[in-house]
């Protein structure tokens, strides 16, 4: 116990020194977030039926407890907050902020806070803005949005014919959502050059989409892009309407409550070479509430673990599995902003995500389905495939027979050439002897 107390004291001292150092540096540099980062910040249009609103980050930490492999961490820990969350890193990357309440009871803190008529969440700070300077007057501004709960799709959101394959007469509960998880980090990234926006990125599940700033696909209001937050999943899209992701699942986006995230946000500067996050003063004229002076509020960024429960085992009565595809009702919560590719060359992440084989197979199948695999078309398509296979087989059979026949003909020709050569040599020898005898007789020898 004494060793643990000493370890915590040393860790607390280290964090305090870091906080004081960063505060001194910030004071010396008078770090303030550029005004244009707020002036061009996205406005979020939440779905009118959205039950899970933006959530206060600190409240989420306070309503969870760290667990490792579903077991509570035995070491005594101080109350966790934004200023000390990284002390959990000594237990590894598998630590999970696990809900104290059963999420299937939908406790109020999971529901977040609905923005008011001004677009502000007055009792919650669900947004983190991180600016990354890249040189050559280029700056990337990341706008992170936090929700305490992510609700995945149900069968009604799966496109034909995969919805039938999943349902498949198994009496699968069509209202049950899968891919749910505690904690949800979404984001936009806007790239600025000389203070002017040139492009924007929208996070969408495990991937995303990027657009030039002048692209007509982007919805805007007063020079600010509108990001449509999908119902339940909170994936970000530039336009409203039904959006298809992962080839076969529909996200619903529509005009609902407007949330202005930068009105309730923490602002930071990230330095890639030193991997250091420094708190910034909010842009002038923003009227956002700054954090208390003694707080640095950066420790949460360095946290390595998950922001929600670890995926429940199949033995847990709350868990369920989608037939054939193996998707779970409850998945592991996400990692935090440090893992969101803050350093990138373009608007998209530098290295595309590798598709699992099931994703690749679904993509190929859904690409062929509308033209070749739907209804009666499947029989025509199968007939053409069968004809192509049979034609290829016949072609190969004929080709192989001709090839074998050619080999036999060449072998036979070589066999027949040998006796002819011998006969020619013997005949030449006989003729040569006859000529010599004739010549001798002529000479009278």
Q: How far is CA 349 from CA 25, 186, 202, 225, in A?
A: 30, 15, 11, 20
- Going by C-alpha positions, the residue among 59, 38, 335 that lies closest to residue 186 is 335
CA distance 331 to 231: 18
Instruction: Give the span between the Cα atoms of 282 and 445, in whole angstroms.
Output: 131
Kindly report each contact of residues 168-171 with a partner whose C-beta sits within 8 Å and lies 24 or more positions away, as own/partner. Answer: 168/323, 168/324, 170/323
Please check whether residue 141 lies inside any domain of the structure: yes
Q: What are phi and psi of 249, to 5 degrees?
A: -120, 140
81, 52 contact by CB (below 8 A)? no
pLDDT for residue 26: 44
Count of structural domains, the chain:
1
Both tokens of 111, joined, read 């529901």
Please calculate the CA angle 426-428-429 and round it to the nearest 5 degrees: 65
In angstroms, how far is CA 442 from the centroid of its own chain?
106
* Predicted local confidence at residue 287, as pLDDT: 64
**Tokens for 365?**
């199948």
Residue 413 lies inside a defined structural domain of this protein: no
**CA angle 177-179-182, nearest 5°?**
100
222 with 210: CB under 8 angstroms?
A: no
- Spell out the residues 6+ positions from residue 30 whose beta carbon is closer than 8 angstroms to its own: 281
Measured at the alpha carbon of residue 376, what is the angle toward residues 375 and 377, in degrees to the nearest 5? 90
pLDDT for 354:
81
Neighbours of 345 (CB within 10 A): 8
Q: Which domain holds residue 53?
A: 35-373
pLDDT at residue 27, as a whole number = 45
Q: Is residue 23 part of a domain?
A: no
In a domain, 277, yes or no: yes
Would residue 160 count as lying in a domain? yes
Q: Are strands 181-193 and 196-204 parallel, antiparallel or unpaired?
A: antiparallel
* Region of 224 on the Ramachandran plot (φ > 0 left; ψ -120 to 50 alpha; else beta): beta
Whether residue 159 lies inside any domain: the answer is yes
Residue 203 lies in a domain: yes
On whether the CB atoms of residues 268 and 336 are closer than 8 A, the answer is: no
C-alpha dihedral over 374, 378, 384, 388, to 10 degrees?
Answer: 100
Which pair of structure tokens corresponds to residue 367? 């690409």
Q: What per-residue confidence (pLDDT) applies to 434?
A: 46
Segments in the chain below pLDDT 70: 1-30, 167-172, 287-295, 372-381, 416-445
pLDDT computed for residue 19 by the predictor: 47
Pick left, alpha or beta for residue 387 (phi over 0 → left; psi -120 to 50 → alpha; otherwise beta): alpha
Report residue 247: phi and psi, to 5°: 75, -20
Q: How many residues does the chain have?
A: 445
Q: Are 38 and 262 in contact (CB under 8 A)?
A: yes
pTM of the model: 0.79
SS3 249: strand
d(CA 333, CA 200): 26
DSSP state of 281: B
Place of tokens 């739907």: 374
98 part of a folded domain: yes
| pLDDT number for residue 367 | 77
């Amino acid at each position: 116990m004494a060793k643990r107390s000493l370890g915590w004291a040393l860790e607390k001292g280290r964090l305090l020194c870091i906080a004081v150092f960063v505060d001194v540096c910030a004071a010396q540099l008078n770090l303030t977030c550029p005004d244009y980062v707020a002036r061009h910040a996205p406005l979020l249009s939440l779905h009118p039926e959205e039950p899970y609103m933006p959530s206060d980050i600190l409240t989420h930490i306070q309503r969870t407890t760290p667990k490792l492999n579903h077991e509570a961490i035995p070491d005594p820990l101080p109350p966790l907050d934004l200023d000390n969350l990284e002390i959990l890193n000594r237990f590894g990357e598998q630590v999970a902020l696990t809900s104290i309440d059963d999420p299937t009871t939908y406790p109020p803190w999971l529901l977040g806070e609905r923005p008011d008529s001004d677009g502000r969440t007055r009792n919650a700070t669900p947004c983190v803005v991180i600016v990354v300077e890249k040189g050559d007057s280029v700056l990337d501004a990341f706008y992170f949005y936090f929700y305490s709960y992510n609700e995945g799709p149900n069968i009604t959101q799966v496109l034909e014919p995969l919805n039938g394959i999943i349902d498949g007469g198994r009496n699968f509960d069509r209202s049950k959502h899968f891919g749910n998880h505690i904690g949800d980090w979404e984001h936009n990234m806007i790239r600025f050059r000389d203070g002017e926006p040139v492009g924007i990125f929208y996070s969408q599940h495990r991937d995303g989409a990027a657009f030039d700033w002048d692209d007509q696909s982007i919805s805007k209001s007063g020079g600010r892009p509108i990001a449509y937050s999908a119902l339940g999943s909170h994936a970000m899209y530039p336009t409203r309407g039904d959006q298809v992701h992962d080839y076969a699942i529909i996200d619903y986006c529509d005009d609902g409550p407007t949330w202005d995230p930068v009105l309730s946000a923490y602002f930071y500067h990230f330095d890639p070479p030193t991997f250091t996050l420094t708190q910034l003063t909010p842009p002038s004229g923003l009227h956002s509430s700054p954090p208390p002076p003694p707080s640095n509020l950066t420790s949460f960024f360095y946290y390595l673990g998950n922001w929600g429960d670890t995926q429940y085992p199949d033995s847990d009565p709350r868990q369920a599995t989608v037939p054939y595809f193996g998707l779970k009702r409850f998945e592991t919560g996400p990692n935090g902003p440090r893992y969101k590719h803050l350093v990138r060359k373009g608007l998209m992440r530098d290295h595309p995500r590798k598709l699992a084989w099931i994703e690749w197979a679904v993509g190929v199948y859904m690409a062929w389905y509308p033209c070749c695999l739907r209804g009666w078309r499947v029989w025509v398509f199968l007939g053409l495939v069968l004809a192509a296979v049979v034609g290829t087989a016949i072609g190969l059979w004929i080709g192989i027979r001709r090839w074998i026949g050619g080999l036999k003909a060449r072998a036979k020709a070589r066999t027949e050439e040998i006796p002819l050569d011998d006969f020619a040599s013997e005949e030449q020898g006989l003729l040569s002897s006859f000529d010599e005898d004739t010549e001798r007789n002529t000479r009278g020898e």
